Amino acid sequence: MLEILLLVFITGVLTGFFDSVIGAGGLISVPALIFLGLPPQTAIATDRFGLLGQSPPALYKFWKAKKIVWKYVPAFSVISLIASLIGANILLTVDPGVLEPIIGITILILLPLVFLKRNIGLKKIRTTRTKNIIGLTLYFLIMVFGGFFGQGTGPMVFYSLAFFLGFTMLEVTGTGIIPWFILTISSLAIFALNGIIDYKIGIMLLIGMSIGSYIGAHFVIKKGEKWLKSLFVVFVLVLGLKLILF
């Protein structure tokens, strides 16, 4: 059991690092927990428990670096709360694997837009009221998906906030911390009531994610948007193929 907990801790550190950098943690943690013997629903719920430790360290680093667009935080938080309650209930009745290929294909189809518009994610861009409404609507739908699964959520949030609301990549990551924390807590309440969280593994995952999140946030803020955009492209290719083929 000690070896398993050590593996869970290492998984948590890696997950926290990549989640705070590009929202890629679910690509590591959920498959790892399933490999260790947890049923898919329990793996997703336990991963969500571990995320409780991830938000505070990352929030501190992004707040200190002034990469949070505070005027959007209240709206995003309300959207995340409503969407999480919907999404968490979906997890109890729907196999998340059904949607994986759809998400994988979508993020790969949208990837060329990153190259066609070179300033996307690197500089703040002006947007229109119509674009803002579209972006917020897409954000809500993405958060519903995030409420019961999560893999693919990071790139989809980037597409919606960068293209339609004009955020830079670091602003996307920083501004999304509080709303995602709210989504985590509200969906966890439903998972806990239905008894699908493995707390022993979840606590070790939480500790690892806290450490990894702090390191990742410090790293990405120091490197900047250009480096992050390059990593984003690599991650989307890997994640998209993973969701489609495996």
pLDDT of 58-98, one tens digit each? 999 999 999 999 999 999 999 988 988 887 777 667 666 66
Question: Is the pLDDT confidence value at 49 over 80?
Answer: yes
Instruction: Tell me which of 110 and 64 has the higher pLDDT.
Output: 64
> Which pLDDT does position 96 carry in this prediction?
61
- Judge whether 20 and 58 are in contact, CB under 8 Å: yes
Say how far apart CA 113 and CA 125 lie, in whole Å: 15
Please indicate whether residue 90 or residue 10 has the higher confidence score (pLDDT). 10
Per-residue confidence band for 226, with pLDDT thresholds at 50, 70 and 90: confident
Asked whether residue 39 carries a pLDDT value surpassing 70, the answer given is: yes
Of 43, 32, 25, 55, the C-alpha closest to 239 is: 25
Q: Is the pLDDT of residue 134 over 90?
A: yes
Rounded to a whole number of angstroms, the distance between the first and last alpha carbons of the chain is 28
Read off the pLDDT band of 206 (50, 70, 90): very high
**82: Cβ contacts below 8 Å, ≥ 6 apart:** 140
Tell me the two tokens of residue 134.
């579209």
Query: 36 or 111: whose pLDDT is higher?
Result: 36
Cβ-based neighbours of 52, under 8 Å, separated by 6 or more: 181, 184, 185, 188, 206
Return the bridge partners of 121, or none.
168
User: What's the mean pLDDT when you consider all of the chain?
Assistant: 83
The confidence score (pLDDT) of residue 151 equals: 65
Residue that is written with structure tokens 């992004």 in the block: 62
Strand pairing partners for 168? 121
Q: By the 8 A CB rule, do 47 and 150 touch?
A: yes
Band of residue 209 on the pLDDT scale cut at 50, 70, 90: very high
**pLDDT of 24:** 63
Residue 223: pLDDT band with limits 50, 70, 90: confident
Q: How far apart are CA 97 and CA 109, in angstroms?
A: 19
